[in-house]
Amino acid sequence: MRVNMHDAKTTLSRLVAAVESGEIEEVEIARSGHVVARIVPPRRRAQRRPGYWAGRIRIQPDFDELPDDVAAAFGGEQP
């Protein structure tokens, strides 16, 4: 659905409610016949599960050690 800027300002709450309920998939807001904005529902993100990687990842004991050649390549020095 496309509406002009004036109508969008006048009916913004109704337009957002229509998108939120799924009645309208998206609303394009136009100024002088050119689309300048869209109202769309937010993308759904996957539910996060704390601890999902517990027991699946192992950090090596030398993880924090930086080889001298790598430090030199970045212009740094080994602590």
Domains in the chain: ranges and CATH:
1-41 (3.40.1620)
Q: What is the mean pLDDT of residues 53-71?
A: 88
Q: What is the mean pLDDT of residues 15-38?
A: 96
Q: Provide the mean pLDDT of the chain.
A: 91
- Report the C-alpha gap between 39 and 34 in whole angstroms: 15
The pLDDT score that the predictor gives to residue 77 is 64
Give the confidence band of 78 by pLDDT, cuts at 50, 70, 90: low
Alpha-carbon dihedral angle through residues 31, 8, 16, 27, given to the nearest 10 degrees: -40
CA–centroid distance for 58 within its chain: 29
Residue found under tokens 């109704």: 14
Which residues sit opposite 34 in a β-bridge? 31
**Residue 79 reports pLDDT greater than 80:** no
- Beta carbons of 39 and 13 less than 8 angstroms apart: no
